[in-house]
Amino acid sequence: MSKAKSATDKPEAVPTTEKGAAPEAAPEKSGKAADNNEAHEHHFEEANAGAALTYPMQCSALRKNGFVVMKGRPCKIIDMSTSKTGKHGHAKVKYTGVDIFTGAKYDDMSPSTHNVDVPNVKRDDYTLINVADGFLALMNESGDTKEDIKLPEGELGETIESEFESGKELLITILTSMGTEAAIAQREAPRS
């Protein structure tokens, strides 16, 4: 007599593959099977797109002299204040910022628990090689050159031009954020 299976009896364990199907016999690693396995291997090229332009940060974590994106522009926070929680729950953070490239002033307000975008801001020093046609020719420490930075307008640009023409070796500070680069400062290179 054979024993009838009830609903509580557990079925025999059958090894499965990742997709839940019973495994087939493993192919030998020679000939066509090896070529087929190699054809299914994925090789990804590394993309060198760099870091993200911005990252999220809770509004309450922002600080004066920090950076924040306001109206789509990277700004330095020059003033901020926090209001108390009100009838509808959220404390509000009011902040004022200045565009780090144009100097334009912006005001914004956001609930303290919400995320805001913070720009990745990078400063690098370059040695000034030449000034020509309104652009700076610069070289970094590893010897790579950069010739796409405009000579700043106003007092900074005039100072860079006059000191370079007088024979001084200058270091130019380049600020980079959200796809924009600009010369923001200059100083005489240290003598070695």
Average pLDDT of the residues in 12-27: 48
How confident is the model over 39-95, as pLDDT tens digits? 555 544 444 455 689 999 999 999 999 999 999 999 999 999 998 877 777 889 999
| Domain finish residue from 119, 136, 151 | 119
How confident is the model over 84-139, as pLDDT tens digits? 877 777 889 999 999 999 999 999 999 999 999 999 999 999 999 999 999 999 99
Residue 192 in this model has a pLDDT that exceeds 70:
no
Domain of 115, in residue numbers: 54-119
pLDDT at 46: 45
Helix, coil or strand: residue 184? strand
| Residue 88 belongs to a domain | yes
| Residue 180 belongs to a domain | yes
Q: Across the chain, where does the E strand assignment appear?
A: 54-58, 67-70, 73-82, 92-99, 105-111, 115-119, 121-132, 135-139, 145-150, 170-177, 180-188
| Residue 6 belongs to a domain | no
Average pLDDT of the residues in 8-21: 48
| Domain finish residue from 119, 138, 173 | 119
CATH number at residue 102: 2.30.30.30
pLDDT at 10: 47
pLDDT at 93: 93
**Whether 153 and 125 share a structural domain:** yes
**Whether 77 and 126 share a structural domain:** no
| Domain finish residue from 79, 101, 119 | 119
Q: Quick one: DSSP state of residue 124?
A: E
Provide the domain count of the chain.
2
Q: CA 138: distance to chain centroid?
A: 23
**Whether 149 and 177 share a structural domain:** yes
| Residue 47 belongs to a domain | no
**Whether 173 and 155 share a structural domain:** yes
CB 188 within 8 Å of CB 163: yes
**Strand order, beta sheet including 67-70:** 67-70, 73-82, 92-99, 105-111
Average pLDDT of the residues in 138-158: 93
